[in-house]
Structure 1
Amino acid sequence: MATKTNPFKFLEQVRSETSKVTWPTRRETMISTLMVFVMVVFAAAFFFIADQALGYAVGLIMNAGA
């Protein structure tokens, strides 16, 4: 079973660990955000086109017997 830690000691450890984190620069964050938006647009366009094509194909199949 884990031992209990003093809350102040815990906060001190958290601060120590946070200082070890390598934070991205503003430029890196902006580039990553832009890339996410670009990929979202590409994915949305791809799924829109795929949905339209499959809907058209299903429509042709369903109307073939008429």
Structure 2
Amino acid sequence: MKSRPNTENSPADTVKLVTALVILGAGIVGFYVYEDQPQIFRVLGILAVGAVAVGIAVTSNPGQNLWRFLQDARTEVRKVVWPTRQETVQTTIIVLIVVILVAIFLWLLDMLLSWGFQQIILPGG
């Protein structure tokens, strides 16, 4: 039986999350302040700052709950039975045929309604 995640947030969790947001914000500001530097260094810098911010956030209770949720989601995705290539191609062809048939039906219906309204609005013409 799985243990229920702790949903109570302590003041320390709030401090951790705010710290992570401040660090991330400082990284974004730094990205634009140092726009005269090579872009590769700026991108690597913001990735490093983002990793630090995520690392801090994950140490909080909400961060741990989110991490557990992502791990459970990954486990569930691995349980999915994905269709074979042949099934995917066949389904795609069926969908395309139905879309074409509905498009033709709507086009014919539009032509019929246009003709009918012209007969009503412009009698004899």
Same fold, TM-score > 0.5, yes or no: yes
Q: Say which of 12, 15, 28 aligns to 2:74.
A: 15
Q: Percent identity?
A: 34
Helix, strand or coil for the counterpart of 2:72? Answer: helix
Give structure 2 stretches of 5+ with no counterpart: 1-5, 8-61
* Relative contact order higher in (CA < 8 Å, ≥ 6 apart): 2
CA–CA separation in structure 2 for the residues paired with 1:45 and 1:56: 16
5+ long unaligned stretches in structure 1: none
Would you say 1:27 and 2:76 are equivalent positions?
A: no
Q: Give the letter for the 1:49 counterpart.
A: L
Q: Which runs of 4+ in 1 moved over 3 A?
A: none
Specify the alignment match of 1:46 in structure 2. Answer: 105
Give the CA RMSD over aligned residues: 2.1
In structure 1, distance between residues paired with 2:77 and 2:118: 57
